[in-house]
Amino acid sequence: FGSLGTPAFDRPAAFVAARGLLEAFPSIQTLEQLAGTITNIEYSGNVQLAQDMSELIKQGLEQFPTADGSGREMIQAILAGSEARLSTVGKPLVLDELVDFEGNPFQWSDYGGKVVLVDFWATWCMPCLKEIPELRRVHGLLGDKGFAVLSVNMDENLKEAKDFVLQ
């Protein structure tokens, strides 16, 4: 998985390695480790591998029907999140309940005729915050050519997000 996100990444070999790891070390802890890779796999664009890994982990969980506790719950939460994200691939993005910091509803019509990058971020997400300057740079280069960035904040407390944006 060290080459994940590069042209050198070998998806079939990665899946064989994951399956081999689970066979060699069948435990909830191994499933936790594998589950922890799913989001990175998705974000690297390897959707099929993410789906295959999810199925492998689900099958692995069946081997431990009596296992409970935080490990199992974490695995199930990761799988549910992955399934929710992957179920949106190729479908229109519905953002009906979004509001801006003043409570005004989101309107897709404000973005008519533009290429829109939707960026989900949170103040607690360091990779998200590190990406903001690059998003601003690209928007500066392409904004007048019909490129827009829609930043969707995922914080529970919108005051923190608003304070961050206004600083």
Which pLDDT does position 161 carry in this prediction? 87
Choose the most confident range, by mean pLDDT, from 24-28, 44-48, 157-161: 24-28
Give the tokens for residue 27: 């435990």
Give the tokens for residue 140: 């500066």
Give the tens place of pLDDT for each residue, 72-106.
Answer: 888 999 999 999 888 888 888 888 888 888 889 98
Segment 12-30 mean pLDDT: 94
CA dist 85 and 79 (Å) reads 10
Entry field: residues in the chain: 167
CA dist 138 and 147 (Å) reads 9
Specify the long-range contacts of residues 65-69, CB closer than 8 Å, at least 24 apart.
Answer: 67/28
Q: Residue 68: pLDDT above 70? A: no
Segment 37-49 mean pLDDT: 88
Q: Residue 67: pLDDT above 70? A: no
Give the tens place of pLDDT for each residue, 134-161.
Answer: 999 999 999 999 999 999 998 888 888 8
Which pLDDT does position 2 carry in this prediction? 81
Q: Residue 60: pLDDT above 70? A: yes
Orientation of helix 28-35 relative to helix 70-86, angle to 10°: 30
Give the tokens for residue 6: 């590069």
